[in-house]
């Protein structure tokens, strides 16, 4: 894959850490600048989620076939479902000239680091596991089982997020405005300066 256009932006962090909230705000403030890469998932849609908008909802069979054909940049199993980013999803955004934004979890980050996409990697850190649990409960989207799994996974993800070299920035989401401003500043400093730079000569903290 030839790297063209701005570097993709990856947001990773435990379920409930605030990735979607931050991304929603970013896309609302800069609708012409960022484009969301729409992931595939085998999980059932939540209320209000639209196919092709929030996710490409698919089934185990179709998704496995597409993975075997090499159509995915990264895939991961999470809470019993497969999630993944297709090459096409990233290309679709890149073709529009927008910065492609990806919301992927830990295993996906490990895989995307091995591609030539050269993404900027942001880890969204919750203030604590207790606060993460409070937010997930308040969101009211998970059954007890799913919630427990997410919290267990969160401990591993936080460890991964804190390991030096895994991310370009760790953003503590203890306050939404503060976290958002930090994200925006980081993007301004790291992506827009490198816009349309095919050679990536000016990039700083690669890999």
Ligand X SMILES: Nc1ncnc2c1ncn2[C@@H]1O[C@H](COP(=O)(O)OP(=O)(O)OP(=O)(O)O)[C@@H](O)[C@H]1O
What is the Cα–Cα distance from 160 to 105, expressed in whole angstroms?
Answer: 11
Q: Is 16 among the residues that bind ligand X (CB under 6 A)?
A: yes
**Catalytic (active site) residue 150:** yes
Residue list 155-174, contact with ligand X (CB under 6 A): 173
* Contact status, residue 149 vs residue 34, Cβ threshold 8 Å: no
Q: Tell me the closest approach of the beta carbon of residue 200 to ligand X, in angstroms.
A: 29
Name 184's Cβ contacts closer than 8 Å, sequence gap at least 6: 26, 29
Q: Is 21 among the residues that bind ligand X (CB under 6 A)?
A: yes
Q: Is 17 among the residues that bind ligand X (CB under 6 A)?
A: yes
Options 6, 8, 10, 15; binder of ligand X; rule CB under 6 A: 15
Closest listed residue to residue 157, CA positions, set 186, 117, 114, 124:
124
What is the Cα–Cα distance from 6 to 82, expressed in whole angstroms?
Answer: 28
Closest listed residue to residue 3, CA positions, set 201, 199, 202:
199
**Catalytic (active site) residue 139:** yes
Stretch in the footprint of ligand X (CB under 6 A) among 13-21, 32-40, 59-67, 183-191: 13-21
Q: Tell me the closest approach of the beta carbon of residue 173 to ligand X, in angstroms.
A: 5
Task: Write each residue from 173 to 202 as x if it is in contact with ligand X (CB under 6 A), else as -, in one continuous string.
Answer: x-xx--------------------------
Q: Which of 95, 137, 139, 155 is catalytic?
A: 139
What is the Cα–Cα distance from 88 to 39, expressed in whole angstroms?
Answer: 10
Q: Is 19 among the residues that bind ligand X (CB under 6 A)?
A: yes
What is the Cα–Cα distance from 96 to 199, expressed in whole angstroms?
Answer: 20
Task: Enumerate the active-site residues.
Answer: 46, 139, 150
Q: Which residues bind ligand X (CB under 6 A)?
A: 13, 15-21, 135, 138-139, 173, 175-176
């Amino acid at each position: 894959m030839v790297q063209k256009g701005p570097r993709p932006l990856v947001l990773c962090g435990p379920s409930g850490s605030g990735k979607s909230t931050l991304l929603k705000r970013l896309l609302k403030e800069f609708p012409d600048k960022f484009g969301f890469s729409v992931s595939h998932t085998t999980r059932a849609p939540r209320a209000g989620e639209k196919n092709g908008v929030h996710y490409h909802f698919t089934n185990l069979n179709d998704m496995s076939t597409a993975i075997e054909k090499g159509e995915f940049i990264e895939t991961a199993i999470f809470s019993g479902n497969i999630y993944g980013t297709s090459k096409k999803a990233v290309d679709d955004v890149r073709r529009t000239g927008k910065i492609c934004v990806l919301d992927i979890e830990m295993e996906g980050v490990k895989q995307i680091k091995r591609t030539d996409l050269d993404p900027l990697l942001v880890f969204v850190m919750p203030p604590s596991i207790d606060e993460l649990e409070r937010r997930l409960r308040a969101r009211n989207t998970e059954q007890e089982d799913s919630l427990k799994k997410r919290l267990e996974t969160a401990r591993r993800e936080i460890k991964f997020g804190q390991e030096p070299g895994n991310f370009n920035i760790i953003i503590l989401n203890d306050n939404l405005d503060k976290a958002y401003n930090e994200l925006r500043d980081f993007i301004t400093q790291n992506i827009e300066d490198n816009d349309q730079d095919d050679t990536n000569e000016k990039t700083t903290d690669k890999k």
